[in-house]
Chain A
């Protein structure tokens, strides 16, 4: 597991949180998660692979743009 730096906002339902984080390509990624899947400033994801300064993560839910897996820069990871 790993923690990815993210901006967390309230969702349209009390059971939802909307997280925004930055992909390795510089895009802002939006994903709707449950409160247990986020912290104050991060989301929890699974780390799958590393490649030249980037980490491939798998999210607990599909992003708004339809991805489960996203490359992020290594400096977006927070210590566990």
Chain B
């Protein structure tokens, strides 16, 4: 079942969901809460991509995502007054400003989804990976892609995505312990 705004607020009050900083009341809708963009994004290092042209990634047990990210992307701290202009077809990694904690015992999982106002412009905020598992802790990573024909300015603190919370049926035997637990920007 999807949590309504009242259930989300009650869960926040009881620590069953932790969002820091706590979203302003206008960030809620009847069944979701909007999160905002942090000032850190990672962009592709095209010099490095060019240097290793022809290299093929083989995802799997041997693959180390952190090494991959460090090798091929650069951290950019975005100036709030200028923003970051996402060109058509560009793909960058971003994070929510808010930290999310879904304690395992709360029996709550979530999905991160785009906002219709941004989707209309062509902005996607995830690439087929919207699930936030019970037990998750950290800022939410956003895989942002401009699918539209016009550049989009991304500004720190802009509402960028929405979270939809769902109650799980039963308590998970094991909390989320995947590679992105406590992920950092």
Contact = CB atoms under 8 A, between A and B. Distances in A.
A65 B25 CA distance: 16
Contact of B25 (A49, A62, A63): A49
Interface string B16-44: 00000000011111100010000000000
B159 A66 contact: yes
Interface residues of A, number: 14
B88 to A, nearest CB: 20
A66 B28 contact: no
A62 B86 CA distance: 22
Contacts of A67: 26, 34, 159
A69 B25 contact: yes
B117 A62 contact: yes
B115 A71 contact: no
B118 interface: yes
A68 B29 contact: yes
A58 B34 contact: no
A43 interface: no
A52 interface: no
B2 interface: no
A61 interface: yes
A69 B28 contact: yes
A44 interface: no
Nearest to A65: B117
18 contacts: A49-B25, A56-B25, A56-B26, A62-B115, A62-B116, A63-B117, A66-B115, A66-B117, A66-B118, A67-B159, A68-B28, A68-B29, A68-B34, A69-B26, A69-B27, A69-B28, A69-B29, A70-B26
Interface of B: 25-30, 34, 115-118, 158-159
Nearest 8 A-B pairs (CB), nearest first? A68-B29, A66-B117, A69-B26, A66-B159, A62-B116, A62-B117, A66-B115, A64-B117
Given A62-B116, A66-B34, A68-B29, 5 more contacts: A49-B25, A58-B29, A62-B117, A65-B117, A69-B28
